Structure 1
Amino acid sequence: MRPAALLCATVLALLPSIALAAAPLAPPDAGIDGLMQVYDGQVPGAAVLVLHDGQPVFRRGYGLAVVEDGSAVTPASNFRLASVSKQFTAAAVLLLVEDGRLALDQPARRWLPELPPAAAGITLRQLLSHTSGLLDYEDLMDPADTRQVHDTDVLALLAREDRLAFAPGSRYRYSNSGYALLALIVGRAAGSDFASFLQQRIFQPLGMAHTVAHQDGIDQVAQRAYGYSEVDGRWQRTDQSTTSAVLGDGGIYSSLDDLARWDAALYDDRLLSAASRKAMFSPATATTEADVTHYGFGWRLNGRMHWHSGESIGFRNVILRYPDKHLTVIVLSNRNAPEPYPLALKIARRWLDTLQ
């Protein structure tokens, strides 16, 4: 990024930060508080943010971020985003396309020659849009091996399988494998590692000071919300699984306040060019998923709503965006259930009904 552009991006990134710093917690809302009642009290909780025209019109935490010591969820609590992370992986690829280091229709094997011959036809565009035909790496893991796998391990698992589920580009099939490979491609094209690239090119410029692609033993997650599952009526910490260390498909931790800065950047040129944002939110392929007519790059598309969920052991999250209304709803939770997507839709409806 040119120095002048970097200065402009830095100044712009401060704007949502200032607005959030000045915004108190939203006053109680009987309707939303009623929807979120299951998360309230001495149980694993959730955080809810509603943004309209760039301003936080509702911003509250419920329940506990750490059950063992009673730490409450706040808008600054950092949750494992799970598959909500994919939009950041896609943005990293698009930044490198803008830099001229990557091209969407390049073969993935240009950067990952370890991939088998069957993968020769797979392009970066197909990895981004879940049309590559790659096998799901979780299906290739040894169930008896309890060690955590990383993005490089995903590549090794796929390298041993000279077969695909279908011909590249012929159909849609949601693929965590593809996004793990994209993280490796970003690192190799950038000459750094994926986590460092995200920090230098996305998180720091946008003022997302506590967002991190978490690597155990390398970094710390500030104000961390730990994941829990209800087992026999009791909440047990289930924060990590064997796949929790894979970064490209789901390894980012972030908070409501940092995600507000991310949301703001999706409306202008402070991070991505207009062409890149158009590519991210344009239908790349049709899907058969519920409430998803098409998939873009790291985003599910359903009419005027752009959204993505994130589910991993101990965490359930969702972000809904209605760009034409400048409305965004984010729900992050550190528990295995319930799925927050229906709640987020109901919360969004409270504003959409007045914005028709």
Structure 2
Amino acid sequence: MSDQSRALPDRPSLRYLKLEAKRRLSAGEFATLHQAQLAIAREHGLPSWAALKEHIEAAAPASHALTQVRWIMSRFAAAGTPEWAPPGEEELRRHFDDHYLSLVPPDTLTGLLGAVAERLREDLADVRAEPLSLRARAADLRIEAATEAGPPHRLRSLRLYLLETKVKDPRVAAPATRTSGPVPEEAAAVAADSFAELGLVGLIVAGAADDGSVWVTARGWASLDDDDVLLPDHRFPAYSVTKLVTSIAVLRLVADGRVRLDEPANAYLRTIRLADDGVTVRELLSHTGGVDSPASMFADRVPDLASVTGPVAACGGPRGAFAYGNGGYALLGQLIADVTESRYEEAATRMVLEPLGMSDSWFPRSGPVTGAATGHRLTDEGMFERVPTQVSILPAAGGLWTTAADLVRFGLAWSSLLPDALVREALRPQAERDRLGGQAGLGWMLMLPKDVAGQPGAGSGFSASLIIRPGRVGQGGQTWVVLTNRTALVEPVNERLALPIA
């Protein structure tokens, strides 16, 4: 054990010293991590690792974000116990700014923080604190926060998401990275952090530079069993992101005068009818038609739609209220086919994919899919295993297979296919969808206070997310895409790109 005295740098990093302890343990200098940490503490003139941690935190610049997060932890740690009383709106407004509370109303915020109370009782770890921002961990909960620039330094952003702690598979310990285009430094950092935090096999993050050029970073493996490194051009199922392609195809028919948004969908359906004659095309696009969805979404081959829905599709849900589902979009696919007198896949390719240059995107009728990554799932033992490749039984709701670059092209240029009035209508709220300020447009899921729109997708062995910041009509916008070959919640990854915390 070293007894050499060392001086701490001007801005010591506990994270760096933790990595240094692990490096020296791996090099065989110490038998245990505890011994390595103790030696480092003593080298810096402190009697224990705990004392070193306390010294570094005290020496760090004051972090208003850290102060606010510590208030949250102390205030909500006892949530759910008989003696605990939730904070009122006035108390919350002393710690969260008005804009944040317009996005997350006080009652909703109290419920969300109360739901993670058990984790808030743990000490903070992996703390990266700046004066106005914080990134840390409490148990398996990632915490990201940012405050106002001036007093009273209330929180203007707070993001919480669960980390994956079950992964034990040694094959994912040293992921390779392959890139295409000028990947921004912050995007590369997000990909590196998220790969480990979410417990992934492969992760693709993509977007566009200011000049419109597409960049892609791919991390990990396309297939663990085959030791196949993930590449930027590997294909993935987009799942529910497909609904955006379907919505744009329908809106192109509207622009051509062949379909009217507020006409009953049955006016255009020929092969399959809706049980409710009053359901309109607009209601199908905005998930307010009450159309039933099949219980299972995946199979080895795409069946005939009538064998899934029957000749008359059931409408058992409440009409006029938002209820996200796949049945309505399956019928929109049939509407496209009936109006164009061609298969949905052919019409969507001709009307959307080809004009946008999405040459690596298509609708396979069965698996396996050429050039595609392999889906995986995590076993109870923490090991990854292959998921058999299946396709969506409803091509218009989840059947698109694509690359990250093609999805970025879609996000950047979809509006070029429509008149400005229909672009605005697609991005206009048609229905409220949750208590967090979300709305449904025509195909797009909207979060107007954050100025973003998008669509997630998840299914058998894969996940996808597309987020855009539309900008003004006719002036383009920004696009971010995340793809993984494990079913996981990837929206936090995309939010870190589209909505930076600091």
TM range, smaller chain: 0.7 to 0.9
- Do residues 159 (structure 1) and 312 (structure 2) align? yes
> Is the alpha carbon distance of 1:147 and 1:89 closer, same or farther for their aligned partners in structure 2, counting shifts above 3 Å?
closer
Is the CA contact 2:204–2:484 (under 8 Å) kept in the aligned structure 1? yes
Write the distance in 2 (CA, Å) between the matches of 1:230 and 1:151.
32
Q: How much does 1:131 deviate?
A: 0.6
Q: 2:496 aligns with which of 346, 350, 354?
A: 346
Mapped contact 1:151–1:247 kept (Cα < 8 A) = no
The alpha carbon displacement at 1:56 in A equals 5.0
Do the aligned partners of 2:361 and 2:402 also contact (CA within 8 Å) in 1?
yes
Of residues 334, 339, 352, the one that matches 2:485 is 334
Q: Does 2:458 align with 1:311?
A: yes
Q: Distance in 2 between matches of 1:257 and 1:216?
A: 23
For 1:60 and 1:33, the matched residues in 2 are separated by: 8
Q: 2:337 corresponds to which residue?
A: 187
In structure 2, the CA distance between the partners of 1:203 and 1:160, relative to structure 1 (3 Å rule), is closer
TM-score normalised over the length of structure 2: 0.57
1:212 to 2:356 alignment? no
Instruction: State the partner residue of 1:324.
Output: 471
CA positional deviation for 1:262: 1.1
The equivalent of 1:17 in structure 2 is none
Whose Rg is larger? Answer: 2
The count of corresponding residues between Structure 1 and Structure 2 is 317
RMSD, matched Cα: 3.1
CA contact (8 A) 2:432 2:440 kept: yes
Which has the higher mean CA deviation after the structures are superposed, 81-90 or 194-203?
194-203
Q: Which amino acid aligns with 1:200?
A: R
SS in 2 for 1:263: helix
Contact 1:292–1:300 (8 Å) recurs in 2: no
Which one of 368, 380, 386 corresponds to residue 237 of structure 1? Answer: 386
Give the gaps of 5 or more residues in structure 2: 1-178
Offset at residue 120 of structure 1 (A)? 0.8
CA contact (8 A) 1:80 1:251 kept: yes
SS of residue matched to 1:328: strand
Deviation at 1:26, TM superposition (A): 5.5
Distance in 2, matches of 1:192 and 1:138, equals: 27
Query: Taking structure 1 as the reference length, what is the TM-score of the superposition?
Result: 0.79
1:97 to 254, 257, 276: 254
Consecutive unaligned residues of structure 1, counting only runs of 5 or more, are 1-20
Which of 269, 278, 284 is matched with 1:121 structurally? Answer: 278
Match of 1:36 in 2: 194
Tell me the equivalent position of 1:228.
Answer: 376
- Alignment map for 1:167-182 (pairs within 5 Å): 168=319, 170-182=320-332
Q: How does 1:29-108 map to 2 (within 5 A)?
A: 31-38=189-196, 44-53=201-210, 55-56=212-213, 59-108=216-265
CA distance in 2, matches of 1:121, 1:40: 44
Tell me which amino acid in the other structure corresponds to 1:164. Answer: G
For the 8 Å contact 1:203–1:211, the answer to whether it is kept is yes
Is the 8 Å Cα contact of residues 356 and 413 (structure 2) preserved in structure 1? yes
Matched, 1:249 2:397: yes
2:345–2:363 CA contact under 8 A, matched in 1: yes
Query: Deviations for 1:159-205, whole angstroms, at most 9, x for unmatched residues?
Result: 274x5222x3x311112100011111101101101111122121122
Distance 1:295 1:93 in 2: 16
Match of 1:295 among 405, 416, 440: 440
Q: What CA distance in whole angstroms lies between the structure 1 residues aligned with 2:418 and 2:236?
A: 25
User: What code does the residue aligned with 2:446 have?
Assistant: L
Cα distance change, pair 206–327 in 1 and its aligned pair in 2 (3 A)? closer
Structure 1 Cα separation of the partners of residues 313 and 323 of structure 2: 20
Contact 1:130 1:175 in 2 (8 A): yes
Distance in 2 (alpha carbons) for counterparts of 1:301 and 1:316: 19
Matched residues in 2 for 1:45 and 1:291: separation?
30
User: Following superposition of structure 1 onto structure 2, how do residues 266-285 of structure 1 map, counting pairs within 5 Å?
Assistant: 266-267=414-415, 269=416, 271-285=417-431
